[in-house]
Amino acid sequence: MLCIVTNAFSSNWASLCHWLKHTIQRKLVKDMIYVGPLTNCLKNKNWRWPKAAHLVADNDEELMEFAINLGLKPTWIQHKSITHFDVNETRYRLAISKGATRQSLKEHVQWIRDHRLSNHPLELAR
């Protein structure tokens, strides 16, 4: 009896499964991966796009896994004041569609301060 499935039912079931997969994926990364505000930037020999944002995470493993899932190369990771990836507008939108939490400039700056201080306690002495 379960083997008899109409095309309409299987199509609806596939749509439901697709929606559920993406909803769960978004919920799983909602509080772990963040993307800062998309800002205008100057093009140079290393960056050819007019806009960029930082992709950051609560831990480096999550950041690397998410970045690879976006199609970023692991060698593109940057370990400056915070560990992050630069993303162009296309990857920014893709990150949000895959569940990254968008941050305002104020939220992003506060997250960077908190993250930098929690990972580098010597910063408190400065």
* Per-residue pLDDT, 32: 84
For the residues 22-48, what does the mean pLDDT come to? Answer: 71
For the residues 14-37, what does the mean pLDDT come to? Answer: 62
Model confidence at 30: pLDDT above 90: no
End-to-end CA distance of the chain: 71
Joined together, the tokens standing for residue 122 give 């010597």
Model confidence at 7: pLDDT above 70: no
CA 70 – CA 29 distance, rounded (Å): 13
